[in-house]
Structures are given as structure tokens and as C-alpha cells.
């Protein structure tokens, strides 16, 4: 038994974590573009990285160094430092050497980047910007804003978890990501801090378990950007660890941030849960649910608030999973439009389904009627604004 | 040795084929929506159908009847007769019985449909419309217009092929399809007529061979609509068959129609060839090329005429194929922007690449430098018009 309380403070909510975000001149007009996360004691660190074959330089650097502890994470937006080869990794070494000489007391610093692919980092600007960092600041909002690219708002959560014994720990996080995520290959970054005393060998399995139904439910496996990163920093300060409570809290943090990313889809006006049940197994359920959340025709129908269930059916049929029109049932919110071969889509049902689609958040449920595999993927609509943002993004 | 001459007449160009398209009231404002193709002798017929698990009623009917000869094909637009179950198949039987009683001299009639999924056919309108058919008409333009849905123009080709001996045969075709095709699941239909004396057991292998580099190069395998059909009708009237010449002509017909479909992508302004070479094998080359032609971020960058090569690289990296930044080379038209780890993208190169992208048709070439697998996929850009068409299509 434990209680989870939503608290302020984002990544600075857990004891011993500091953060800030400043303008280093990477973004125009003095917007924040360079952030740090600092812990006053050495943290265990674990990260999930993109499965893209062209992993960006910060990821290659992290792996090359075999990082498993750190107390300083530097994050820049506007430039992904991806496809930049050895030179891109060298740039990171130079920048982090500068950080060590500037701040003296930091160990195993790491870097994370997001933005345009294929352009060398403006390292002088970054080093100059870093010089103004004050590692004793707790400005989580500024840090969360500095990592944004096409995000329309910053994304933070924090919880205090109180165990029945009265002991407690805190967990905080910030994320960026505002693309259609997939198939649009938008870059997502997420940084999670905690003062829970998580054993370091449990961090990776916990992250993977929670990612499956959160960040991986808003993105098709493997079809990710060059920079995608979910990083967990544990400084053990609370001395408290209860696996069940921590798993619950981590899942909650990642789920809420995943939904914030979907809801901030570029130009998106709706967040939709695509729930698939009755599939041959969980993997097939996930394949069908993600096919729905990624279909351009489904996304545009959502935008048009058009309960075009034929597109839903066609997408399921094309997803390669075991299914049969005679056992399929499709429901918008609580309005069933097709049940096991029978079309229930008359004028009245259409009006009710269209009503459901006017909401900013609702579910589309497809029961395949094959076995009992289930999965829920999250997606958003695609409107004019998406095209505008992505046609104009780089320039 | 043979000569291929472009001729007029579409599906009516080969001897013995007749066609027309009329308005049966399925589309508003008296637009053509119902077509027939008739041959005055029995034809061998072979068709490639969608791999979607939810094949539409006309396809199920064709397979159920084991059709291998016919002289009458009825085609309607505006309604796909898909997800309509047994009732949808019964509707086809009733409509085709009506055709037999109306025209007397037809054998094994078949039907093909395109349009909205999940609505029963308006069979009375179709039967009433059919009553006005004159099977002696050769109006290929009217037929090609009647099968259009969101197409902005009709798509026809016809060739006469003259062998060195002086013998000749003709081949004609019409197609519809104007979606992004894939991943947008737009429906494509294609009907090909010929008076060549193609042995019936060679028709299926010839169709499959030609589809791989034509219609399947504008669509990812398996991710297709409920109705997709490519139908070949051979009436043998010329008495001439030369496999090499026929394969060449069939390939040319399907290639030209595939490009017309891409160029008519909903709201598309550019037709782009995504050429992948140096892949581990042909299958991997096709996977990478199709990943590019289907990427939303690539499509919107094309629309913005932005030589954002990072998105190209990221898409290749996420496509799951064997690749390495150190061996990858990316070229827009004849402008190489990235070569084997080296970024060649300076202001001058960017300006040149942007110049290439202003064209209505150009190629993007990715050499993976792994082995010698190659494939070319065709795609188009995605602009505001696409969203408008697809948000509003059904209603």
C-alpha cells in the first residue's frame, strides 16, 4: 500500500537535483535552448535509446564511455548532433571537458541533443552559454522549456510516493516531443530524476517494462528518430525503495508524459486511445493498435470528426494481424458501429459516433474476436497545421 | 526486336473491346460513376488483388466463382462494397443476374467497385443505370472517368507493338487511384485489355513480375486497401504472342499508370523517385525505398522544397535495413549532400539541392554502400490539399 501525490518541481522535486535552462543563441530571439540537470551526489544512470541504426553522437558517446553513473547532464535543442560522425563525438568530448574545467566538481558528464539532423553543433555558443550556468539553481521550468523544439508547451510531472510506513520518495521528470512521433520520426527526449534507492541493476528492466505501454505505445518499435532517449537518474537520497511503489510511480510518470506528447502532436486537436482487444496475442494487438494510430487516413478522418469506420476496418485488415470481418467489432467511445459482420451504422448511430469524435479525447475500440491479446496505442489527428510545421521546420 | 507505338483508344484500342461510362446517380451532379468493359469474344482473365485481410465483396465473388474467362466487367465508383459480408456478395449476384438477363449474350460477368467502405451498394441505381448501356460503344474516356474517385484526371494508356515480322498486337489500360496510395490505403483499380494471344497460364506470372516494380513500388506490400485490383483481359484476337515484347509492353503500361497515380497524389505537386542502391539485397533496398516514399516527414519536406537530408538519413536508419553512416551517400538529383560520413551540405550545395526540389519530378538517391541490392520506389509530397481531401472525403 502506498499513496501517490502530485507535486510541483518537475525534475528538481526529488532531493538533491538541480536544473536550469538558458539561452545560448541556438534558437532565435533569446529563447531558452541549453539546459542542465545536476545532482549534488553521484547518480546511477540508465537510458533507453532509439533503435534507429543511425544513433546520434550523444548516444554513441554515452555508450562508448560506458556511462553508469553521472551527476551532470547537458541538453541542447535546435541541433541533434546526428549524422555528424566522429567529429560530432569529438565535439561532445570538447564541450564536456569544458564543463569539467568550468565546474570542477562534476563526474562523468553526459550530453543529450535534439533538433536538426546533419549539422555540426555550434560548440562555441554552447560552451559560452554553459559558462553562465549556476549549478545551485532549481529552475525546472526553464530546463523543460530549453529542451523544447516544436513543442507548444513544456512537459513536466512530479510525484511524492508515501509508503504505509510513512517513508517516502520523490520522482520527477521532463520530456520534449511534439511530432506525430511516428511515422513522423519526431524526436522525443525524457529525463527522470528520483531520490528512491533503486538498485542499479533494476533500473534497466524497470525502464523497459514501463516504456512498453507508454512511450512505445505512441511509437512503432524501431521506427524512431536518431536521438530518442529516456534517461533515469537515481541519487538514492531518500534511502527508500519499494519495487511495487516505484514501478507504479515510474509507470505513472512515463504514461502522463507520453499522453502529453500525443496531445501536443504537431497541429493536433485530439488525443485518441486506440484499444485493440481479442487479438491472437499481445504482439498482434500492438501491431493493429499502432497501425491505427499511424494511419494517415485515420488521422485525417479524426481531424474531420468523421466516424469513417471503413478506414478503421481497412487499416486493421492491412496490418497483417489475424482477423475476420465476421468476428470484428468497432466502437467509437460507447457507440458500436460494426458488430461481428453486421453494419450498425445508420444515420442515428453516425450522429452519435460523430458526437464522440467532437471530444478532445476519446477511445476507438476494435475487438478482433480471435483470442485475448490486447494493447492500447495513443495517437492524435493530423490537420493543416502539421503540414505547415513540417514543411517549414528546418528553414 | 519490336517497336512500341503510343496510340489512342485506352482500353478500347485492342480489337474487340468495348467500353462506356454513364451516370447512375451514385455521384452527385450527374457525374459518371458506372462503367463496363465488354469483349465480343470470351477473354482469358487474370487479376492481382489486395493483400488486405478484409477483401471487398467483388474480390470475394470473383474468387468464389473461380473466374478465369469473362466478356463483361462492371465497375462502379463511390461505393467499395467492402465490409458488407454475405449481403454484399448477394448484391453482386443480383446485379450480375440482371446484366445477364438484360444483355443475353454475356458470360461469367464480374464486378469491381471503389469508394466508401462499409455501405451496401445502391443496387437499384446500379441496375437501372446498367439498362442504358450500349455494349457496342467504344467510349474509353467515359469509362475511365466513371471509375474515378478523388482522381483529378482520368488515367489511360495504349500501345501498339509491332514485331520485326510485321505482326502486331495492341494493349490498352485504364486505372484509378489518387491517394497517397500508401500508407493512406487509397484504393487503386487497373484494367488492362489486349488482343495479344497470351497463353492463359502465363498471365498471372507476367502480372506479378510487372507489378513488383510498378504498382508495388508505389505501395508497401500488404498495406493496401480492401479493393485494390489489377485485371488483365486477353481476347487473343491478334493471334500474335511474343513473350519478350508482351512483357515489355505490359511493364510499360503498368509503369506509366503507376506514375500517373503518384503524380495525381491527393494534393501532390511533385513526383519523386526514391532510388536505393548498395543495399544488402533487393528486399532491403525495397524496404528502404518504400520507407522514404511513405515517410510523413520526408513528404512534408518535399512539399516545403526543403533539402532536409537529415530526415532522409533518419528514415533510412529507422527502416530496419543494414546500413552505416560511414558508407551512406545521399544525392538529390545530381547534387550529393552527404558522402560516406562526410557532410557536403554547405550553403552552395543547399541552394543547388533546393533548386532540384523545385522541379515537379526528380530523384533522391541513397547508396547504402553495403552490397548491390537496388530498388526504386515512387512517391509524392504531402500538402494542405491532402488533409482537406481526406478530412472531408466521406461526407
- CATH 3.60.70.12 for domain B2-263, yes or no, is yes
Residue B276 in contact with residue B368, Cβ under 8 Å? yes
Which residue, among A220, A319, A391, A394, would best test binding to B if mutated, counting the most B CBs under 10 Å from its CB? A391
Please report the pLDDT score of residue B210 as a whole number: 96
Sheet holding B361-367, edge to edge: B342-343, B335-339, B329-332, B361-367, B271-279, B373-380
CATH for A271-392? 3.10.20.340
Report the gap between the CA of A343 and the closest CA in chain B (Å).
7
Nearest to B384 among A53, A387, A392 (CB): A387
Average of per-residue pLDDT across B145-162: 94
Interface contact flag, A318 B384, Cβ < 8 Å: no
Report how far residue A322's alpha carbon sits from residue A341's, in angstroms, rounded to the nearest whole number.
16
Give the residue on B whose Cα is nearest the Cα of A326: B85
More confident residue, A149 or B20: B20
Give the residue on B whose Cα is nearest the Cα of A383: B387
- Residue B303, chain A, CB below 8 Å: the answer is yes
Reading chain A (395 residues) residue by residue, the pLDDT tens digits are 899 999 999 999 999 999 999 999 999 999 999 999 999 999 999 999 998 999 999 999 999 999 999 999 999 999 999 999 999 999 999 999 999 999 998 999 999 999 988 999 999 999 999 999 999 999 999 999 999 988 889 999 999 999 999 999 999 999 998 755 554 445 799 999 999 999 999 999 999 999 999 998 886 545 678 999 999 999 999 999 999 999 999 999 999 999 898 888 767 788 899 999 999 999 999 999 999 988 877 888 888 888 889 889 999 998 999 999 999 999 999 999 999 999 998 999 999 999 999 999 999 999 999 999 999 999 888 777 666 666 654 43
Please report the pLDDT score of residue B296 as a whole number: 77
Determine which one of A50, A114, A150, A187 is catalytic: A187
Residue A116: φ, ψ to 5°: -70, 140
Helical pair B85-103 and B57-64, crossing angle rounded to 10 deg: 70
Residues 371-390 of B with CB under 8 A from A: 382-384, 386-388, 390
Interface contact flag, A120 B343, Cβ < 8 Å: yes
Task: Kindly list the residues from chain A whose CB atom is less than 8 angstroms away from the CB atom of residue B226.
Answer: 310, 313-314, 317
Gyration radius (Cα) of chain B, Å:
22
On the 0-12 / 13-18 / 19+ scale of CB atoms within 10 A, A376 is middle
Specify the domain boundaries for CATH 3.10.20.340 within chain B.
271-392
Interface A-B: count of C-beta contacts within 8 A:
223
Average of per-residue pLDDT across B5-34: 97
DSSP label of A10: G
- Residue B52, chain A, CB below 8 Å: the answer is yes
- Residue B79, chain A, CB below 8 Å: the answer is no
Nearest to A226 among B179, B183, B314 (CB): B314
Interface contact flag, B318 A53, Cβ < 8 Å: yes
Give the residue on B whose Cα is nearest the Cα of A116: B310
Interface contact flag, A53 B317, Cβ < 8 Å: yes
DSSP tally for chain B: helices H, then strands E: 11, 15
Specify the domain boundaries for CATH 3.60.70.12 within chain B.
2-263
Interface contact flag, B296 A296, Cβ < 8 Å: yes
Our CA dihedral for A217, A221, A222, A226, rounded to 10 degrees, sits at 10
Give the residue on B whose Cα is nearest the Cα of A50: B318
Q: Confidence band (pLDDT; 50, 70, 90) for B389?
A: low
Close Cβ partners of A261 (under 8 Å, ≥ 6 residues apart): A155, A175, A177, A178, A181, A188, A218
More confident residue, B135 or B393: B135
* CA quadruple A211, A215, A218, A223: dihedral sign: negative
Please report the pLDDT score of residue A184 as a whole number: 44
Mean pLDDT of chain B: 92
Interface contact flag, B185 A392, Cβ < 8 Å: no
- The DSSP string of B23-51 is --SSSSTT---EEEEEEEEEEEEEEEE--
The pLDDT tens digits for B166-207 are 999 999 999 998 755 554 445 799 999 999 999 999 999 999
Please report the pLDDT score of residue B380 as a whole number: 85
Determine which one of B50, B114, B150, B187 is catalytic: B187
Please report the pLDDT score of residue A391 as a whole number: 64
Interface contact flag, A390 B224, Cβ < 8 Å: no
Close Cβ partners of A142 (under 8 Å, ≥ 6 residues apart): A19, A20, A21, A22, A32, A35
Which residue, among A313, A317, A381, would best test binding to B if mutated, counting the most B CBs under 10 Å from its CB? A317
Q: Can you read off the three cell numbers belonging to residue A347?
A: 444515420
Nearest to A310 among B117, B319, B324 (CB): B117
Please report the pLDDT score of residue A265 as a whole number: 74
Interface contact flag, A300 B391, Cβ < 8 Å: yes
Q: Interface pTM (ipTM) of the complex?
A: 0.84
Note the pTM of the prediction, 2 decimals.
Answer: 0.88
Please report the pLDDT score of residue B266 as a whole number: 67
Known catalytic membership, residue A187: yes
Report the gap between the CA of A210 and the closest CA in chain B (Å).
22
Percent of chain B topping pLDDT 70 = 93
Using DSSP's 3-state secondary structure scheme, residue A14 falls into coil
Please report which helix (H) or strand (E) contains residue B192, including its range: strand B189-194
Residues 153-192 of B with CB under 8 A from A: 179-180, 183-186
Interface contact flag, B318 A394, Cβ < 8 Å: no
Please report which helix (H) or strand (E) contains residue A39, including its range: strand A34-49
Amino acid at each position: 500500500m502506498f499513496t501517490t501525490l502530485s507535486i510541483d518541481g518537475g525534475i528538481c522535486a526529488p532531493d538533491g537535483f538541480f536544473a536550469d535552462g538558458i539561452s545560448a543563441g541556438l534558437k532565435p530571439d533569446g529563447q531558452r535552448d541549453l539546459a542542465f540537470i545536476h545532482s549534488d551526489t553521484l547518480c546511477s544512470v540508465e537510458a533507453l535509446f532509439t533503435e534507429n541504426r543511425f544513433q546520434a553522437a550523444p548516444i554513441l558517446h554515452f555508450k562508448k564511455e560506458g556511462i553508469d553513473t553521472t551527476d551532470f547532464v547537458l541538453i541542447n535543442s535546435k541541433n541533434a548532433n546526428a549524422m555528424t560522425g566522429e567529429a560530432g563525438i569529438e565535439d561532445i568530448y570538447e564541450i564536456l571537458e569544458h564543463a569539467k574545467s568550468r565546474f570542477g566538481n562534476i563526474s562523468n558528464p553526459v550530453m543529450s541533443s535534439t533538433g536538426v539532423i546533419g549539422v555540426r553543433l555550434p560548440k562555441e555558443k554552447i560552451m559560452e552559454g554553459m559558462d553562465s550556468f549556476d549549478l545551485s539553481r532549481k529552475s525546472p521550468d526553464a530546463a523543460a522549456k530549453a529542451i523544447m523544439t516544436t513543442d507548444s508547451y513544456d512537459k513536466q510531472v512530479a510525484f511524492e510516493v508515501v509508503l504505509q510506513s510513512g517513508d517516502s520518495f520523490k520522482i520527477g521528470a521532463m520530456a520534449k516531443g511534439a511530432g506525430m512521433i511516428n511515422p513522423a520520426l519526431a524526436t522525443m527526449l525524457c529525463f527522470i530524476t528520483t531520490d528512491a534507492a533503486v538498485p542499479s541493476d533494476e533500473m534497466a528492466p524497470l525502464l523497459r517494462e514501463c516504456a512498453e505501454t507508454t512511450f512505445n505505445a505512441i511509437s512503432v518499435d524501431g521506427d524512431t528518430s536518431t536521438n530518442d532517449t529516456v534517461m533515469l537518474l537515481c541519487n538514492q537520497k531518500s534511502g527508500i525503495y519499494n519495487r511495487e511503489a516505484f514501478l507504479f510511480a515510474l509507470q505513472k510518470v512515463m504514461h502522463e508524459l507520453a499522453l502529453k506528447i500525443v496531445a501536443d502532436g504537431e497541429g493536433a486537436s485530439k488525443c485518441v486511445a486506440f484499444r485493440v482487444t481479442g487479438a491472437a496475442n499481445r504482439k498482434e494487438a500492438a501491431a493493429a493498435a499502432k497501425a491505427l494510430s499511424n494511419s494517415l487516413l485515420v488521422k485525417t478522418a479524426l481531424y474531420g470528426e468523421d466516424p469513417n469506420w471503413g478506414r478503421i476496418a481497412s487499416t486493421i485488415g492491412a496490418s497483417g494481424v489475424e482477423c475476420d470481418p465476421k468476428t470484428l467489432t468497432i466502437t467509437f467511445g460507447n457507440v458500436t458501429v460494426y458488430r461481428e459482420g453486421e453494419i450498425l451504422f445508420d444515420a442515428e448511430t453516425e450522429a452519435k459516433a460523430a458526437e464522440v469524435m467532437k471530444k478532445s479525447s476519446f477511445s476507438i475500440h476494435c475487438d478482433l474476436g480471435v483470442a485475448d491479446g490486447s494493447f492500447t496505442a495513443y495517437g492524435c489527428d493530423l490537420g493543416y497545421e502539421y503540414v505547415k510545421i513540417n514543411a517549414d521546420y528546418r528553414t
